[in-house]
Amino acid sequence: MLRYIIILGFLISMQSLFAQTSFDELSKERAVLLDLYEVKPKKALLVKIDRLEGEILNEIKTNGYPIVVNTTMALDVQDQAYPLKGNTIATLEDQQEVLLLDKDAYGYYKIKVNDQIGYVYNLQMVPNLENYPLSLIQDDLEQQKIIDDLTKAPSVFRVRYECPSVVCGANTHAGEACKVQTRSCNGRCHLH
């Protein structure tokens, strides 16, 4: 059984070398790699799975993923994301099928309806975002938020040198005032 899975995984990876772009093909390859990972967990398989999930996200963002709108009232689709004060390009009704392209951190969904790209807020859909592949979009948003938070966080080096240059406030061993200039926020030089 393990030999069959390994051979199948090898054939699928060889197939991926020859221009594999379809969402269904990428999903099948991901499923096989997940099965292989369950049998024998290896870091190399996780790297391949992450790469495939990135390709799946790109495929969704390029061509869209079909979803069915689940709503009790008509939803207006705007031509701008934030704030939704743009022109209405379409109105969504319950059980209407559209293509989901992306979701941003503010809850705006980028969709394609009637061959036009627009935005709608807080869209309820079938399948919902907990299901694959839509969960990949949510995971990508969470990873992007972590990266944004890290890049916006103050650097240790910037905080260290934000204080103005002052004369050290400590005394030398001889009891005289230190004359060394420092940018340390505590007012003491590297000697004290």
Q: Are residues 72 and 137 in the same domain?
A: yes
Using only C-alpha atoms, the chain has a radius of gyration, in whole angstroms, of 27
Q: Average pLDDT for residues 14-26, to the nearest whole number?
A: 60
The CATH number given to whatever domain includes residue 116 is: 2.30.30.40
Sign of CA dihedral 168, 169, 170, 175: positive
Give the domain-ending residue among 63, 80, 100: 63
Q: Are residues 37 and 94 in the same domain?
A: no
Q: Average pLDDT for residues 79-85, to the nearest whole number?
A: 74
Q: Are residues 141 and 86 in the same domain?
A: yes
Q: Are residues 75 and 143 in the same domain?
A: yes
Tell me what pLDDT residue 146 has: 83
Upper half-sphere CA count for residue 69 (Cβ side, 13 Å): 24
**Length, in residues, of the chain:** 192
Tell me what pLDDT residue 7 has: 61
Backbone φ and ψ for 40, nearest 5 degrees, come out as -145, 95
Q: Are residues 139 and 164 in the same domain?
A: no
Tell me what pLDDT residue 112 has: 92
Range of the domain at 93: 65-152
18: pLDDT strictly greater than 60: no
Q: Are residues 87 and 19 in the same domain?
A: no
Domain total of the chain: 3
Q: Are residues 85 and 130 in the same domain?
A: yes
Q: Are residues 105 and 39 in the same domain?
A: no
34-50 pLDDT per residue, tens: 888 888 888 888 888 88
Q: Are residues 132 and 112 in the same domain?
A: yes
Where does the pLDDT of residue 72 fall: very low under 50, low under 70, confident under 90, or very high at 90 and above? confident
Q: Are residues 128 and 184 in the same domain?
A: no
What are the helix (H) ranges across the chain?
A: 2-16, 23-39, 43-63, 134-152, 156-160
137-185 pLDDT per residue, tens: 888 888 888 888 777 766 655 555 557 778 888 888 888 888 888 887 7
